[in-house]
Amino acid sequence: MSIQFKSIVGLQSQSYFNFLSANGTARETPIHAASWLNVQEKWEIINYNDLSSTGKLCYGDVVGFRNPHFNVYLSGFPGYSAVTTMGKLQDAERLVLLDPQDPSSTAEMTVEDEFYLQQVNISKYAKVNGNGIQISVPLTTNAEATFRIIVTI
């Protein structure tokens, strides 16, 4: 099944099977990993270069992820060591989904595909380090952890 922009999804760690979770409406709030998929763990996929796009998601697309419940965006703000949330879709919220087998791929993505979640501006990657809830999801210099998109709506 292909994935469309504007879909509401969960971002699931493939090492621990937990989900990236927003932690409120405040900006610069670290996100955490949760073992469930509720409103805090749901994200709208946004095409960063065409905010109204409902086209198909491909590896290499520059995207933003907005939590509709809190109206915050996943962010890899420069200088931070963890994934946070911010209130606007700006440069630090530009993310790219990279194929672990071929990082230069631009193939259409499906729900079966795994990906590295890379922050474009600082070239760091999100990584989940354990089961259940974590205090934060660190940004690392190496692509070590893969994720999968779970379509919820």
Q: What is the CATH number of the domain that holds 27?
A: 2.80.10.50
Asked if residue 54 is part of any domain, the answer here is: yes
pLDDT at 96 over 80: yes
pTM value is 0.95
Find the mean pLDDT for residues 120-128: 93
19-25's contacts with Cβ under 8 Å and 24+ in sequence apart are 19/150, 20/74, 20/83, 20/126, 20/128, 20/137, 20/147, 21/133, 22/67, 22/69, 22/70, 22/72, 22/85, 23/85, 24/70, 24/72, 24/85, 25/70, 25/71, 25/72, 25/87
In a domain, 24, yes or no: yes
Asked whether residue 3 is domain-assigned, the answer is no
Answer whether residue 2 is part of any domain. no
Range of the domain at 105: 8-151
Per-residue pLDDT tens digits for 18-57:
999 998 888 888 999 999 999 999 999 999 999 999 999 9
Q: Residues of the chain with pLDDT > 90: what percent?
A: 84
Domain total in the chain? 1
At 124 the pLDDT is 96
